[in-house]
Amino acid sequence: MSLRDIVLYPNDVLVQKASSVASVTTEVQQLVDDMVATMYDAPGIGIAAPQVGVLDRITVIDISSEENPDELRVFINPEIVHAEGTIVWEEGCLSIPGIYEKVERSNKVVVQALDREGQEFELEAEGLLAVALQHEIDHLDGVLFLDHLSPLKRRMAVKKYRKVIDGIKKKRQEAQSKKKEQD
């Protein structure tokens, strides 16, 4: 298991549609394990493959933030087959750090997917898990939570984000040059 770099907004890979996984190979399982490690390290409650630069339809979610091992779920080729109700949740995104905005989504969704072993399953999710699923599945279609905001709110969020990201990029560069010195 190894950590992968999280792709930060704006980046082309975040606005592209990811491809279906043809078969759950050991390589795919390796990616899944790396995504889980990267999500926990961040820390976050969900991450999608495009966020680590891979355009595969894979997402992992743990709304307990590693508190409860049973909450870790792997979704390969997830599809929402039913959605109902509405819920407003303040969302954030590992690719858009420092920005949190209220987004309206379905309160309940039914999702079909393959698990880490390639077995089909169906899951009914409500509340935060439903929100996380819709947020992550959006990533597989190149859609970000910013895209759900009104044009004005989106502009304000992007403006705020630019300030946040300048600081983060500087920190990353410093860490990388430190690492090079050590190598």
Told to check if 93 binds Ni ion by CB under 5 A, we report yes
Q: Does 140 bind Ni ion (CB under 5 A)?
A: no
CB closest to Ni ion, residue no: 93
Stretch that binds Ni ion, among 8-16, 85-93, 108-116, 148-156 (CB under 5 A): 85-93
User: Can residue 45 be called a binding residue for Ni ion (CB under 5 A)?
Assistant: no
136 belongs to the catalytic site? yes
Query: What is the smallest separation between the CB atom of 90 and Ni ion, expressed in angstroms?
Result: 13
The closest alpha carbon to 140, from 7, 14, 4, belongs to 14
C-beta contacts of 127-133 below 8 A and 24+ residues apart = 127/87, 128/45, 128/63, 128/89, 129/61, 129/63, 130/87, 130/105, 130/106, 131/87, 131/89, 131/91, 131/103, 131/105, 132/45, 132/46, 132/61, 132/63, 133/59, 133/61, 133/75, 133/78, 133/80, 133/109
Q: Which two tokens stand for residue 62?
A: 């743990």
Of the candidates 117, 136, 174, 181, the residue annotated as catalytic is 136
Q: Which is nearer to Ni ion, 49 or 93 (CB)?
A: 93
Nearer to Ni ion, 104 or 122 (CB): 104
Q: How far is the CB of 179 from Ni ion (least distance, A)?
A: 26
Residues that bind Ni ion (CB under 5 A): 93
What residues are labeled active site? 136
